Amino acid sequence: MPAKPVAAKSAPTAPTFDSDTKAAAMAELRARVIPCIKCPNLASSRTQVVFGVGDIHAQLMFVGEAPGADEDEQGEPFIGKAGQLLTKIIQAMALSRETVYIANILKCRPDTPGQTAGNRKPTPAEMETCKPYLLEQIRIIQPRAIVALGATAIDGLLGKTEGISKLRGSWQEFQGIPLMPTYHPAYLLRNQALSEKRKVWEDMLLVMEKLGMPISEKQRNFFLKA
């Protein structure tokens, strides 16, 4: 008797969504996140929830820490000074805010009671509470690569705390998706050295290579000494 054919074991894959299903899933998620009151302190201090912005079919996703004052006011991630720098980085990659997806670990601005200015880092409890929303965004978008901006994003996504300067520039993996840690643009605003800009740019070149994007000679040489 011929041996029974053995069914090939396929590796578990993330569910794939068609365009309409993706849009419906993201709309349903947004409708759940916008009225979220899981962190009562943040729900009462925020102007609004900052859900995320960009193309739900994007190949590339950027993940930051949490909204600041500008983002809280306007309801969009990364539109303050650090956000404007991130937009420039995205444009230098020959992409746009509309063709990537941008989100944060925390969807609400961390409250700063008694302070009139400044931000604070999300607490571990806030991150754990909010993280499922980001995970759902990633599950729906299924990007081909993620850029984690700064230590909080890396801690939130990978649980790694060994320091951004050690991790940046080396591929990590988040649920099977290649993840590139790099400095937060706010760091580049504080440290204007060309060498630091170049480090972030080298990380972005690795991302472009991973995505099979064309890279011009001019792009390769950005932020190198003349």
Binding site for ligand URA (CB under 6 A): 64-68, 71, 77-78, 80, 82-83, 104
Nearer to ligand URA, 68 or 143 (CB): 68
Nearer to ligand URA, 143 or 156 (CB): 156
Q: What is the largest CA-CA distance in the chain?
A: 81
In whole angstroms, the minimum distance from the beta carbon of 42 to ligand URA comes to: 14
Nearer to ligand URA, 192 or 216 (CB): 192
What secondary structure, in 3-state letters, does 111-164 show?
A: CCCCCCCCCCCCCHHHHHHHHHHHHHHHHHHCCCEEEEECHHHHHHHHCCCCCH
In whole angstroms, the minimum distance from the beta carbon of 73 to ligand URA comes to: 12
CA dihedral 84, 89, 90, 95 (to 10 degrees): 130
Nearer to ligand URA, 60 or 82 (CB): 82
In whole angstroms, the minimum distance from the beta carbon of 71 to ligand URA comes to: 4
Block residue for tokens 């578990």: 12
In whole angstroms, the minimum distance from the beta carbon of 184 to ligand URA comes to: 6
Residue 149: exposed, middle, or buried by beta-carbon count in 10 A (0-12, 13-18, 19+)?
buried
